[in-house]
Amino acid sequence: MYTREKTQTVQVGNLYIGGGHPVVVQSMVNADPHDAEAILSQIQRLFVAGCELVRLAVPDREAVAVFGQVCQSSPVPLVADIHFDYRLALAAIDAGAAKVRINPGNIGSEDRVAQVLQAAKEAGIPIRIGVNSGSLPKDLLEKYGVSPQAMVEAADRYIKLCAQYDFNNLVFSLKASTVPLAVEASLEFARRYPFPQHLGITEAGPPEVGIIKSAAGLGALLGQGIGDTIRVSLTGDPVQEVEVAYRILQAFNLREYGPQLVSCPTCGRCQVPLAEIATEVAQALQGIRTPLKVAVMGCAVNGPGEAREADIGIACGPDGGLLFKNGEIIGKLSRDQLIPQLIAEIKQISGRNS
């Protein structure tokens, strides 16, 4: 099995994907591909949120010109996303793409794919081959139906095609909107090939649904050591994708992204409005990037154990509660003091005193 330590390393701008490098977080701009200003402003927001690689749709000639312009001032490497027209891929490579994503199934004849491979080779950039369950070759669909086998066989074809042209600077993705299909296909691919994988559950839906599907699908793979770069696809502002991607990676201790809030579900022992308290603490944590475990617990029975495990935590009681820091009780405080003191400690640890 080619787990992330064993995959090939691919360089994208100043980033490395695969070979045990940290899992790269990426997202995709959804601003008008002809509006450089709107694109750059979205890239800037993604960058501030921690996005490391940004993909842009390049649907036509005008978009290529804009893409080239944006490449000049983007703070992160850019991936050109190309469908149907291989000439756009060639032009995007010329314009400064750090990587190109193509689906060879819709880019045309072998000769056209070969031209894209040649141009990428000359520019020294990788190509991501995006196999999508929704656009598989007809013969594979007839043979296997929409299945992991069909997706992996499609990938296999492209690997062989690239090998004919001596091109192996590749990243693969095997995406589907159904979690088990994406997971099975990516797992099977990792059993067979050393190429780094970009993971994603495509068309996952709006945040309420998409976050769950992405966490389930990506989690099933990340937990087994599969996945070198990820995108969480959500309908909406792509900045949210970045935060969710990091939260998923953080749950597997693969990346750090600010504080982790642990709060209990409450039960009959809880005598405080814990949901309100947890929301207040979560708001205080927004914008903090220091890795920190914060526990907000509802009672003095099970609360102290978890609060002790955290960097900073509280175990609430009917009249106030205990404040813990680094496993020690540092205060027994009244209800009025407990939350402000917890927040003050968090800000002090994270270096944000204002």
From 64-72, 252-260, 297-305, 339-347, give the range in contact with ligand SF4 by CB under 6 A. Answer: 297-305
Q: Closer to ligand SF4 by CB, 124 or 265: give it.
A: 265
The answer to whether 314 contacts ligand SF4 (rule: CB under 6 A) is: no
What is the pairing mode between strands 312-317 and 10-12? unpaired
| Shortest Cβ 279–ligand SF4 spacing (Å) | 16
Q: Which of 163, 301, 329, 330 binds ligand SF4 (CB under 6 A)?
A: 301
CA distance 208 to 107: 34
CB of 204 to ligand SF4, least distance (A): 31
Q: What SS3 state is found at 100?
A: strand
The residues near 33 (Cβ < 8 Å, ≥ 6 apart) are: 39, 56, 57, 58, 59, 60, 63, 66, 67
Rounded distance between C-alpha atoms, residue 54 and residue 44, angstroms: 10
Alpha-carbon distance of 342 to 336, in angstroms, equals 11
Please identify which residue in 299, 310, 322, 339 interacts with ligand SF4, judged by CB under 6 A. Answer: 299
CB closer to ligand SF4, 250 vs 302: 302
Which strands, in side-by-side order, build the sheet including 312-317?
A: 259-263, 292-297, 312-317, 320-325, 328-334
CB of 321 to ligand SF4, least distance (A): 11
Q: Should residue 124 be labelled a site residue for ligand SF4 when binding is judged by CB under 6 A?
A: no
| Tokens at 336, concatenated | 């009025």
| 305 contributes a contact to ligand SF4 by CB under 6 A | no
Q: Which is nearer to ligand SF4, 127 or 296 (CB)?
A: 296
Binding segment for ligand SF4 among 12-20, 51-59, 291-299, 323-331 (CB under 6 A)? 291-299
Q: Establish if 113 lies at the interface with ligand SF4 (CB under 6 A).
A: no
Does the footprint of ligand SF4 cover residue 351 (CB under 6 A)? no
For residues 45 and 42, give the distance between their C-alpha atoms in angstroms, rounded to a whole number.
Answer: 5
Nearest to 313 by CA among 278, 342, 282, 351: 342
Stretch that binds ligand SF4, among 88-96, 98-106, 144-152, 299-307 (CB under 6 A): 299-307
Which residue has 């977080």 as its token pair?
25
Q: Which is nearer to ligand SF4, 254 or 282 (CB)?
A: 282
Binding mask 247-276 for ligand SF4 (x = CB under 6 A): -----------------xxxx-xx------
* Type of residue numbered 291: P
Decide if 19 contacts 8 (C-beta within 8 A).
yes
CB 214 within 8 A of CB 205: no
Q: Work out which of 210, 227, 259, 303 binds ligand SF4, going by CB under 6 A.
A: 303
**Residue pair 328/350 in contact by the 8 Å Cβ criterion:** no
Residues that bind ligand SF4 (CB under 6 A): 264-267, 269-270, 297-299, 301-303
